[in-house]
Amino acid sequence: MSDDGKDRATPQEGGQDTEAWKEKGVALRAFFYIFGTHLFAGFVWLLFYVGQHADK
Protein backbone atom coordinates (compact mmCIF):
# COMPACT_ATOMS: atom_id res chain seq x y z
CA MET A 1 0.00 0.00 0.00
CA SER A 2 1.34 3.38 -0.89
CA ASP A 3 0.70 6.46 1.19
CA ASP A 4 -0.32 8.97 -1.45
CA GLY A 5 -2.16 11.26 0.98
CA LYS A 6 -5.62 10.71 -0.47
CA ASP A 7 -7.02 9.42 2.81
CA ARG A 8 -6.07 12.58 4.68
CA ALA A 9 -8.53 15.45 4.94
CA THR A 10 -7.35 18.85 3.80
CA PRO A 11 -8.67 22.14 5.16
CA GLN A 12 -10.47 22.75 1.88
CA GLU A 13 -12.37 19.48 2.26
CA GLY A 14 -13.62 20.40 5.73
CA GLY A 15 -12.16 17.31 7.36
CA GLN A 16 -12.21 16.72 11.09
CA ASP A 17 -8.43 16.86 11.28
CA THR A 18 -8.12 20.57 10.56
CA GLU A 19 -6.84 23.14 13.02
CA ALA A 20 -10.15 25.00 12.98
CA TRP A 21 -11.97 21.85 14.09
CA LYS A 22 -9.47 21.33 16.92
CA GLU A 23 -9.75 24.95 18.02
CA LYS A 24 -13.53 24.65 18.21
CA GLY A 25 -13.16 21.50 20.28
CA VAL A 26 -10.77 23.16 22.71
CA ALA A 27 -13.00 26.22 23.03
CA LEU A 28 -16.08 24.09 23.62
CA ARG A 29 -14.28 21.96 26.21
CA ALA A 30 -12.96 25.07 27.99
CA PHE A 31 -16.48 26.56 28.04
CA PHE A 32 -17.94 23.43 29.64
CA TYR A 33 -15.11 23.19 32.17
CA ILE A 34 -15.52 26.83 33.18
CA PHE A 35 -19.32 26.57 33.25
CA GLY A 36 -19.17 23.37 35.29
CA THR A 37 -16.70 24.85 37.76
CA HIS A 38 -18.91 27.89 38.29
CA LEU A 39 -21.98 25.70 38.66
CA PHE A 40 -20.22 23.59 41.31
CA ALA A 41 -18.95 26.71 43.11
CA GLY A 42 -22.47 28.16 43.11
CA PHE A 43 -23.82 24.95 44.60
CA VAL A 44 -21.20 24.99 47.37
CA TRP A 45 -21.97 28.67 48.02
CA LEU A 46 -25.68 27.80 48.25
CA LEU A 47 -24.92 25.06 50.79
CA PHE A 48 -23.00 27.50 52.98
CA TYR A 49 -25.77 30.11 52.66
CA VAL A 50 -28.52 27.66 53.60
CA GLY A 51 -26.43 26.25 56.44
CA GLN A 52 -25.76 29.72 57.81
CA HIS A 53 -29.46 30.60 57.83
CA ALA A 54 -30.72 27.28 59.19
CA ASP A 55 -32.63 27.28 62.45
CA LYS A 56 -30.29 25.74 64.99
Cα distance between residue 13 and residue 39, in whole Å: 38
* End-to-end Cα distance, the chain: 76
What are the CA-CA distances from residue 45 to residues 5, 6, 35, 38, 55 (Å)?
54, 54, 15, 10, 18
Are 15 and 9 contacting, i.e. CB atoms less than 8 angstroms apart? yes
User: What confidence tier does 56 reach under pLDDT thresholds 50, 70, 90?
Assistant: confident
Give the rounded percent of residues in the chain with a pLDDT score beyond 90.
57
pLDDT digits (tens, 9 = 90+) for 33-45: 999 999 999 999 9
Cα distance between residue 56 and residue 33, in whole Å: 36
